[in-house]
Amino acid sequence: MEKIEFNYPEAKRLITKRAHVGVVGSGDMEVLLEPNSEEGAHVFITTSVNGFGDAWRSVFDRFFSKFDGAVRIYINDAGATPGSVLLRLEQAVEVIEQ
């Protein structure tokens, strides 16, 4: 079990909706994405697989190179692959921007 946090201060666009997607099951993860009351985005990850901080960092760097919403993202991970992480994040964005 490992906890990881990232900040993306440049993500300032106002977001008003929240999304809850995914499930905590083998190779998958749950994402809660909600508006941040302050400027910038914060990511809080709890993962069952230790030692992948750099991989998480590169997934979120890639995600926030396209997404600029001021959000708080909570992730409960059970070993999702980087590809699945991006799919779940895209799904959460689809929900808040519907």
Partner 1 sequence: MVSTLHVHDLILLRTESAVISTQSDSACPCLNPNQRPWVVVRRGRISGGLIPVGVRGAQRHERCAGFTRLSDVAEALRPDQLRLRLAEDSRRLLPAFRTLSYLESRLVGLDMSWGPGGSLGYELASGIPAVHADSDLDLILFAPKQLDITEAQNLWRMISSAPGKVDALAETPCCGFSLEEFATTSHRKILLRTSEGRVLGSNPWSLSNGEDN
Please give the residue ranges that form the binding site for partner 1 (CB under 8 A): 21-23, 25-28, 49, 51, 78, 81, 83-84, 87-88, 90-91, 95
Which CB, 24 or 35, lies closer to partner 1?
A: 24
| In the complex, minimum distance from the CB of residue 72 to partner 1, in angstroms, rounded to a whole number | 20
Q: How far apart are CA 41 and CA 60, in angstroms?
A: 11
Which CB, 11 or 19, lies closer to partner 1?
A: 19
| In the complex, minimum distance from the CB of residue 87 to partner 1, in angstroms, rounded to a whole number | 6
Q: Does residue 41 contact residue 8 with C-beta atoms inside 8 Å?
A: yes
Q: How far apart are CA 36 and CA 64, in angstroms?
A: 15
Which CB, 28 or 77, lies closer to partner 1?
A: 28
The sign one gets for the Cα dihedral 71, 40, 61, 76 is negative
